[in-house]
Amino acid sequence: MSRLDKSQIERYSRQLVLKNIGPKGQKKIFFSKILIVGVGGLGCPAAENLVRAGVGTIGLIDNDIVNLSNIHRQSLFNSKDLKKSKVSVAAKKLKQINPKTKIKTYKSRLNNNNIEKIIQGYELIIDGSDNFQTKFLINDYCVKLKKKLITGAISKFDGHIFTFDFKDKKTASLRNFYQEKEISDDILSCEFEGVLGTTASMVGAIQANETIKMIIGIGQNLKNQILIIDLLNLNFRKVKFQKR
């Protein structure tokens, strides 16, 4: 792609005028390949924001169907989507937003048998999963394959965001922050702990924002830090941790 065509210039005009993006950065977005694990409270806003930004290829992996309790925080779904495959519904709606984005769907749960084959075709992984087993699995294979990873977690009014670039040998991993051998998934359980829908929307949007920055190579990221968001008291803070 040598030059942007007229429709691309109009569609992305508000991004193109940003000095940190411009035509060169927009082309990087066009050619990017992003995998989103979990099409839920985090995956929905992340996917929508990235499609609107012009990401070239997005993979969606989730084996779940839409339930009524999902709708208050999972922004791609409505009452007509109940009992339908999340990835199928999401793919259809994302294509309506941006027909030029290629959407790949995986109606399965990420596991030891399929993860390497799936993630190796993507440059950056967005982790929107809701359990530590999956989060550590993604983390470990991203370390192995030297991928970029943006992990999010939500509960109640709180959100956590991590950014990793495992091509950098000095980058800490999720295991450097969570050092316990076993961690209860209860702290990530929206069913038992509850969560405000806006918490999911904000964390998913931040994951998309960090993704765009990493694609283009602009700004600062959360290397060896965690961003902790407390929306009840409107507090944002960063905590440093190190590779061990």
The DSSP code sequence of 117-184 is HHHTT-SEEEE--SSHHHHHHHHHHHHHHT-EEEEEEEEBTEEEEEEEETTSTT---HHHH---S---
* Predicted pLDDT at 167: 94
Gap between the Cα atoms of 155 and 188, Å rounded:
6
Strand partners, 165: 148
Question: What's the gap between Cα 220 and its chain centre?
Answer: 17
pLDDT digits 0-9 by tens, 80-128:
999 999 999 999 999 999 999 999 999 999 999 999 999 999 999 999 9
Neighbour count for residue 243 (Cβ, 10 Å): 12
Q: Is the pLDDT of residue 188 over 70?
A: no
For all residues of the chain together, what is the average pLDDT? 94
For residue 59, pLDDT over 70 is answered with: yes
Within a 10 A sphere around the Cβ of 221, how many other Cβ atoms? 18
What the chain holds in terms of domains, given with CATH numbers, is: 32-240 (3.40.50.720)
Taking phi first (over 0 means left), then psi (-120 to 50 degrees means alpha), and beta for anything else, what does residue 54 get?
Answer: left
204-218: per-residue pLDDT in tens? 999 999 999 999 999
Q: What percent of the chain has pLDDT over 90?
A: 89
Has residue 142 got a pLDDT over 60? yes
- The H or E element that residue 10 is part of is helix 6-11
pTM tops 0.75: yes
Confidence (pLDDT) at 193: 80
Distance CA 127, CA 162 (A): 10
- pLDDT tops 70 at residue 1: no
DSSP-based three-state secondary structure for 33? strand
